[in-house]
Copies of this chain bind each other. A is one copy, B any other.
Amino acid sequence: MSAAVPSPPPGEFDLIARCFHRHRAPRPGVPLGPGDDCALLAPRPGMQLAVSTDMLVEGRHFLSTVAPEALGHKALAVNLSDLAACGATPLACTLAIAMPRGDADWLGRFADGLYALADRHGIALAGGDMTAGPLNLSLTVIGEVPTGQALLRHGARPGDTLWVSGRLGDARLALEGFRGTVRLPGEVFDRVRLAMERPEPRVALGQALRGVASAALDLSDGLLGDVRHLLARSAEALGRPQPLGLRLDADALPRSAELAAQPLALQRLCTLAGGDDYELAFTAPAGAEAAVREAAAQAGVSVTPVGRIEDETGLRCVDAAGRPVAADYLAFDHFRG
């Protein structure tokens, strides 16, 4: 008897091949793309690899109503933002996806959004996995950085200036709009929801800041919560038992005209503890201002000095006149959030 080898069922493998094999051809740095047990990467000599993983869950990291293209963009963008924070050049990513049903239309549109951003950054979707289950997207990104030049969360010193890129708080303002806690005119809502749904990872800025910034991280849980890690890790590296301190100028935090038109309390919430910003926060010696501004110009991204790292542990949040600003926001936490 000669039975035909069963043809591929119109499920998992068919969907993967249809939606996620656009980067199968070998490319520089990625000699083997998707379709085998592993992908193969060929980092250049002298390079270390930066690796980061982020998982996005429906109803937590994105609304179920989001356009699949936007979700594909955002799933990759939040991961690239981690590479940006390290000053790495993106090389490849993998995608694991669980979804209730194999919906080829939805997946194709999701893939469109993901590949558009991947192609802009010259990065291959090199492999992954697909299964049935509650909607869940887990991406791992891999980038290259010259040995010893990665930007890290530690390295800040008392006296360093704290900078942030771009503008903060629009994503949170959009979320409050979705939640109905604030009423936004249609065109305002349309502009700020772009910040929430289409964050632009600061990859070029991260690379330009190598050798300039003393420490860096990306802002995903809100400035106050995230910068805590930088203060703690930098103190650890200096052998100090307490985190470094921060004097933060709340009025200096860069914000859009749309956010600046909101009540001050909402501006404070959105800029200090908004979450989902995907901007870089980084420190540099006070004397490095010109180098920071040059790196920013090279990357085409605005940067703003917003505070100063201090010896004395604790956060001193002030307004433009130097008056204290209450800043007792808790960092976002997925098991509290």
Write out the residue numbers on chain B whose beta carbons fall within 8 Å of the beta carbon of A123: none
Q: Are B60 and A133 in contact (CB under 8 A)?
A: yes
Q: Are A37 and B6 in contact (CB under 8 A)?
A: no
A264 within 8 A of B: no
Write out the residue numbers on chain B whose beta carbons fall within 8 Å of the beta carbon of A5: 224, 228, 231, 243, 245-246, 313-315
Complexed CA–CA distance, A1 and B247 (Å): 11
Closest to A228 in B: B5
For this complex, 24 residue pairs linking A to B, each with C-beta atoms less than 8 Å apart, are A1-B317, A1-B326, A6-B224, A6-B331, A8-B331, A9-B336, A35-B153, A37-B85, A37-B216, A38-B86, A39-B50, A40-B49, A41-B49, A43-B43, A49-B49, A51-B94, A53-B94, A53-B96, A53-B127, A55-B131, A101-B335, A102-B335, A132-B334, A134-B134
Contacts A8-B228, A37-B153 known; 7 new A-B pairs at CB < 8 A: A6-B331, A12-B333, A12-B334, A38-B88, A51-B142, A54-B129, A55-B130
A36 CB to nearest B CB, Å: 5
Of residues 22 through 46 on chain A, the ones whose CB sits less than 8 Å from some CB of chain B are 31-32, 35-43, 45
A294 within 8 A of B: no
| A contact residues, range | 35 or more
